[in-house]
């Protein structure tokens, strides 16, 4: 944790993977004024924020529950993953005891400058508007098809949760229909946390932030890795593909409370 203290102190957001009572995985976004992420001791991170009631994470916070966190600084393309358990929930936030902490490379992260808004300083004023469904609307399909960034939550049976970043040029995800997506797996850190989890537990959660409209799209469903060479060849730069089937959709408006600048696309993005 020592080398991560200053990095975490400067961040206004963190992504959290959690598992609900039906064993469905969800990825959620928590935000706060920089300093809301605090290293409490050698094994404990304090997140000084709580999910809004309409965020699936709000129902997935029993003591001892596995949580997978991804701290990311878009401007510097830096990221840190922390996986552990919830040990305490207060009126102000969450205490997570870390089992593993590790960094990732900057590949495929689109650089964005972030500005705080009044909503991140007073989250109770957001008055989120939430839509729930079991399939994607036409607008949501377009949102995904034009995304350059998303996050994926995965977990292994009876064990830890994990959150990973995925990025590419707009169009790198393909929407098959209102219930199915396919996205490429590019060369990365060669750790295969997400793919390894999918191999033994197909339940995953996807999070799509809309950086321009202050809203998020959270999907939970099932994933499978595709190894077919002909299908892989249709996705530039892909080493594997992941097919995802939607079980539930949660769209939340006024969900972020941050203002993002225009993206500077990663030079590693396949074209």
Does residue 128 belong to any structural domain of this protein? yes
Does residue 221 belong to any structural domain of this protein? yes
Does residue 269 belong to any structural domain of this protein? no
Give the pLDDT confidence of 193-215 residue by residue, as tens digits. 899 999 999 999 999 999 999 99
Residue range 136-149: mean pLDDT, rounded:
98
Does residue 265 belong to any structural domain of this protein? no
In DSSP terms, which residues pair with 33 in a beta bridge?
A: none
The answer on pLDDT for 219 being more than 70 is yes
Residue range 121-146: mean pLDDT, rounded:
85
Give the pLDDT confidence of 239-251 residue by residue, as tens digits. 999 999 999 999 9
Does residue 194 belong to any structural domain of this protein? yes
Residue range 56-74: mean pLDDT, rounded:
97
**CA gap 184, 72 in Å, rounded:** 21
Does residue 174 belong to any structural domain of this protein? yes
CATH of the domain at 97: 2.30.110.10
143: three-class secondary structure by DSSP: helix
What pairing do the DSSP bridges indicate for beta strands 203-210 and 215-226? antiparallel
**CA gap 75, 253 in Å, rounded:** 24
**CA gap 4, 217 in Å, rounded:** 29
Q: Please report the pLDDT score of residue 111 as a whole number.
A: 98
**CA gap 207, 152 in Å, rounded:** 6
Q: Please report the pLDDT score of residue 117 as a whole number.
A: 86
pTM: 0.96
Q: Please report the pLDDT score of residue 158 as a whole number.
A: 77
- CB contact at 8 A, 17 and 153: yes
Residue 130 contacts by C-beta under 8 Å, 6 or more apart in sequence? Answer: 54, 250, 251, 252, 253
Domain housing 255 = 2-260
Count of the separate structural domains present in the chain = 1
Does residue 159 belong to any structural domain of this protein? yes
DSSP per residue, 162-202? EEEEEE-STTSSEEEETTEEEEEE-S--S--HHHHHHHH--
What pairing do the DSSP bridges indicate for beta strands 161-167 and 25-31? unpaired
Does residue 268 belong to any structural domain of this protein? no
The answer on pLDDT for 188 being more than 80 is no
């Amino acid at each position: 944790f020592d080398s991560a203290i200053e990095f975490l102190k400067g961040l206004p957001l963190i992504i959290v993977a959690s598992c609900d009572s039906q064993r469905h995985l969800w990825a959620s976004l928590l935000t706060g004024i920089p300093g809301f992420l605090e290293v409490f001791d050698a094994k404990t991170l304090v997140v000084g924020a709580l999910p809004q009631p309409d965020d699936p994470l709000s129902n997935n916070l029993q003591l001892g529950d596995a949580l997978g966190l991804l701290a990311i600084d878009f401007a510097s393309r830096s990221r840190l993953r922390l996986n552990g358990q919830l040990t305490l929930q207060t009126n102000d936030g969450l205490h997570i005891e870390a089992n593993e902490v590790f960094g990732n490379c900057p590949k495929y992260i689109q650089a964005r400058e972030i500005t705080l808004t009044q909503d991140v300083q007073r989250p109770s004023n957001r008055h989120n508007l939430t839509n729930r469904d079991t399939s994607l609307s036409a607008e949501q399909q377009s949102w995904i098809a034009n995304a350059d960034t998303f996050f994926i939550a995965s977990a292994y049976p009876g064990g830890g949760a994990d959150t990973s970043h995925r990025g590419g040029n707009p169009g790198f995800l393909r929407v098959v229909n209102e219930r199915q997506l396919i996205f490429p797996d590019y060369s990365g850190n060669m750790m295969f946390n997400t793919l390894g989890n999918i191999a033994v537990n197909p339940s995953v959660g996807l999070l799509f932030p809309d950086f321009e409209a202050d809203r998020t799209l959270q999907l939970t469903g099932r994933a499978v890795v595709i190894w077919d060479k002909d299908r892989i060849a249709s996705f530039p730069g892909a080493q594997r593909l992941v097919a995802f089937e939607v079980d539930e959709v949660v769209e939340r408006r006024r969900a972020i409370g941050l203002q993002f600048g225009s993206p500077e696309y990663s030079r590693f993005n396949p074209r």
